[in-house]
Amino acid sequence: MDFADSPTEAEFRARLRAWLETNNPGLPASSTDDEYWRGQAAWHHALYDAGFFALSWPEAIGGHGLPATFDAIVDDELAAAGAPPRPSLGYLVHGILEHGSEDVARRFLPGIVNGRDRWCQGFSEPDAGSDLASLRTRADLDGDSYVVTGHKVWTSYSDDADWCMVLARTDHIVAKHKGISAFALPMDQPGVARRPLRMINGITKEFGEVHFDGARVPVENMIGAPGEGWRLAMTVVSHEREPGELGYVARYRKVVNELVAQVRGRPGAFDAEQVRELGWAIVESEMLRLHVCRRLCDRLDGIVHRPDGSIDKLLMTEVEQQVGHAALSVGGAGHQGMHDTWRNVYLYSRAQSVMGGTSQIQRNLVAQRILGLPTA
Amino acid sequence: MDVRLSPEQQALRDAAARVVDQLGPHTVAQLGDGERSKKLDAAVQAAGWRELRVEGDDGRPWASGVETAIVAEELGRGLADAAFVGPTLGAELRRLAGAPAATSSETVVLDASLTDLARTDSASDDLAGALAIDTAGSSDGLIGMPDGKIGKVPVEPSSADVDLTRPSARVISGAIAEPLAGAKRSLGADPHRKWIALGLALTCADLVGVMRGTVALATAYAAERRQYGVPVGSFQAVQHLLADALVATEGAASVMLHAAWAVDALAPVDALAAGSTAKAYCARAARAVCETSIQVHGGIGNTWECLAHVYLRRALLSIDAFGGVGPSLARVLEHHGIVGADGLR
C-alpha cells in the first residue's frame, strides 16, 4: 500500500510539471465560463500533442497504454499549476471500445482521443431523463442508412460537435430496454438542428438541444449490434460517474487553491463561517483525490464494472457542491458585479447532482445493488 | 502508486476480522460476559497487535501505520472491548523517546481537551480533566513532563464512560509522574507531530470500522423488519439513508488509508495535515452514520438493548480523542497558511 510515485511515475510527473511551466493557457475552471469552452479544443490538442492525454487508453487509438494511476498524476499537476482540467471524454472512449466493432473503433476513436473530432452524447430526451429507456427518438432503416427522427436535450457540447453518439429506437416491438441502438451520427447535415441552452450560471457553450428530422446515419456507423444501445449506454454512464475518468479532481482543487490564496492574503476579511466552508472544501477535495487513487489502483489488474460508480458519483457531487458553497461563501454572490467566477462556480455545482444520473437514482442503485436491500 | 492492500495486509485484515467476529460482543448483553472479553483480550495479546509500533531491529516500528490502522478498523467494526489504540500509542511514545518497550499494559493520558498528550507541568485544573483512554487492563498511563520528557503515572477507572467498549481512567489525584526509565531522548516537535498523526490515523481507522459495523447492522435490520407487510428496507426513504451512510463510509475509508500511510511515509508536518484532513472527514461522517443507524432501527434503536448506540458511543470517544471536527479543520487550515481559525476549535 503506497501512495508515493514509482520512479517511472516520478519521472513522468517531473516532465509534466516542466511542460506546464510554459504551456499553461490559464483558462478559467471548466464549465464556469464560456471562455473556457472557447479555449478548450486548443488545450486538448496541446495536452495530447505533448503526450499528456489519453494515458490509460490503448496505443492503437492514440493512447499510451499506461496504468490508470497516471491520470491521477495529471490531475495533481494540473491543479497545482492552476491549469485547466483534462478533457472529460473517457466515457465515450470506453463505450466505443467495449461495444463498437474493430472497424468502428478504428474509424472514430483516434479522432475523439486526439481532439480533432468533437463529439456530443445524445442520450436524454424531454420525456426520457432518469427513465432513459423510455426514449422515443427513432432510427428507421432506409437502404444503406438509418433515418433518425427525435429530440435530444441536455446534450453537452452539441453546438460544436462534429459527431453525436445518439441512442435511438430501432425495434418498437421488443421490451423498451432491448429496442435501442447506438450510432455515430454526423452533425453537419440538413436533418440536424441544434440550439444552445443557457445554463443557470449564464454559460451557453456547454448545454444544448438537438432536433433530428430525417437526419441520416450510414448503417456501418452503428456502434455495437442492433439492440445493444442500452448496454452501451450503461457502460457509458458508469464511466461518466467516475471522477477518475472525468478528471474533475483537478477542477475542484484548482478552485480550492484559488480560494485559499484569496483568504490567506487577507485573513482578517473573512468570518468564521466563511473560513469553515473553505476548510470543508479543502477536506472534501482532498478526500476525492485520495478516493480516486484508491479506485484507479483497483483497476491495475483491469477494469471490472461494479455498481461502485454510484458511490463515487455521490462523493463527487458532495465535493463539487461543497466547493461551490465555499466559492459562494468566500467569493460572494457578486452583487457588485465582481467575483462572477465564484458565483458561477457555485451555480454550476447544482448540476452535478443531476447530470450523469440524479443523486436519487444513484442512491437507489447503492441501496439495491450494493447493500442488497429489497425492491418495493 | 499502488494503494491496494498487499497480500500480507489482507491476511492481517482477515485475521483481525476472524478474532472480532468470533470473540467480540454481538449483543449488548454480551458486553457483560467477562469470560468472552478475557478471551478476546488474550487473542489480541497472542496476535502481538499491541506491539506493532514497538521498535524492531532496524530502529523502525515492526509494522507501519497502515497495518496498525487495519487492526484498529477491524476492532472498531467488531466493537472489540479489548485495548488496542491506547497501548499502541503508548508503544509509539516509548519508541519515539528511545525507551524500552513496556513490560506491563499501559496506555496514554490525553489533556482535558483530548487533543494532545497531557502534560504534568500544565495547570492543575487541566490534569484533573486529563483522561487516560482505552485503559482495559492498564493501571498506568504515559504523560508529558517538563522539557519534553515522557513520564508514567498511575490512573484509576473513571466512573462515567461514554464508550461502553473501551473504559477511560483519571490520573490518581496527587500521583507523581516518574520519568520513563531508559528513555534516550525527549519528545521533539517533529516526533510529537508524528505521534499525533498516528493518534489521528488510529482514531479514524476505529471510526471507519464503527461505520462499517453499524451500516451492516442497520442494513440487516432494514431487510428483516417488516411494516405495512413489507421490509422497511424496501422503502426508498430508508434506502437513501443507508446509501448515504455507505457513501460516507467509503469516503472516510479513502482519507483514513492515506492518513495511515502518511504516518511513516511523509514528513511529520504533512503527516499531521493528512491525519487532520482525515479526522475532520471521519469525525463528521461517523456521527452522521451512527445517527442514521439509530434512525433506521426506529424505536428499537433508542433502547439500551440495541447495539446501535454502542457504536455511536464508541464513535463519540474516537471523534474527540486527538480532536474532532473543529480542531481538525483548524489544523487543516493552518497547514494551508490560514491561521487564526481558532474560532473553529
pLDDT, tens digit, 9 for 90 and up, residues B173-187: 888 899 999 999 999
Residues 14-73 of B with CB under 8 A from A: 66
Minimum Cα–Cα distance from B231: chain A residue: A374
Given a cut of 50, whether residue A333 has pLDDT beyond it is: yes
- CB contact (8 A) between residue A364 and residue B340: no
pLDDT per residue over A81-129, tens digit each? Answer: 999 999 999 999 999 999 999 999 999 999 999 999 999 999 999 999 9
pLDDT per residue over B294-314, tens digit each? Answer: 999 999 999 999 999 999 999
Q: Which helix (H) or strand (E) holds B43?
A: helix B34-47
C-alpha–C-alpha distance, residues A11 and A4, integer Å:
13
- pLDDT, residue A170, reads 97
pLDDT over 90 percentage in chain B:
91
Q: What would you report as the CA-atom Rg of chain A, rounded to the nearest whole angstrom?
A: 21
- pLDDT, residue A31, reads 57
- pLDDT, residue B345, reads 46
B108 Cβ contact list (under 8 Å, min separation 6): B86, B89, B90, B93, B117, B132, B133, B141, B142, B143
Given a cut of 50, whether residue B82 has pLDDT beyond it is: yes
- CB contact (8 A) between residue A311 and residue B257: no
pLDDT per residue over B316-326, tens digit each? Answer: 999 999 999 99
Minimum Cα–Cα distance from B217: chain A residue: A371
Residues B282/B328, Cβ–Cβ less than 8 Å? no
Residues 174-203 of B with CB under 8 A from A: none
- CB contact (8 A) between residue A376 and residue B230: yes
Across B27-43, average pLDDT = 97
Q: Which of B211, B209, B223, B219 is nearest to B242 (CA)?
A: B219
Q: Which of B149, B148, B139, B147 is nearest to B171 (CA)?
A: B139
A291 interaction partners in chain B (CB closer than 8 Å): 250-251, 254-255
From A278, A297, A371, residue closest to B243, measured CB to CB:
A371
> Do the strands B107-110 and B140-144 form a parallel or antiparallel pair, or are they unpaired?
parallel
Assign A38 a pLDDT band (cuts: 50, 70, 90).
Answer: confident
Q: Is A66 on the interface with B (CB under 8 A)?
A: no
From B1, B254, B262, residue closest to A287, measured CB to CB:
B254
Across B228-248, average pLDDT = 98
pLDDT per residue over A225-250, tens digit each? Answer: 999 999 999 999 998 888 888 899 99
pLDDT per residue over A245-281, tens digit each? Answer: 889 999 999 999 999 999 997 878 999 999 999 999 9
> What pTM was computed for the model?
0.96
Supply the mean pLDDT for chain A.
93
pLDDT per residue over B186-224, tens digit each? Answer: 999 999 999 999 999 999 999 999 999 999 999 999 999
User: Which of the 8 DSSP states describes residue B119?
Assistant: B
Q: Which helix (H) or strand (E) holds A304?
A: none
> Is the complex ipTM more than 0.90?
yes
C-alpha–C-alpha distance, residues B197 and B139, integer Å:
25
pLDDT over 70 percentage in chain A:
97
Assign A26 a pLDDT band (cuts: 50, 70, 90).
Answer: confident
- pLDDT, residue A338, reads 62
Given a cut of 60, whether residue A30 has pLDDT beyond it is: no
- Long-range CB contact pairs, A48-53, < 8 A, 24+: A48/A113, A48/A114, A48/A115, A50/A19, A50/A23, A52/A16, A52/A19, A52/A86, A53/A86, A53/A87, A53/A113, A53/A115
- CB contact (8 A) between residue B230 and residue A276: no
- pLDDT, residue B160, reads 79
Assign A79 a pLDDT band (cuts: 50, 70, 90).
Answer: very high
Residues 296-315 of B with CB under 8 A from A: none
- pLDDT, residue B87, reads 98
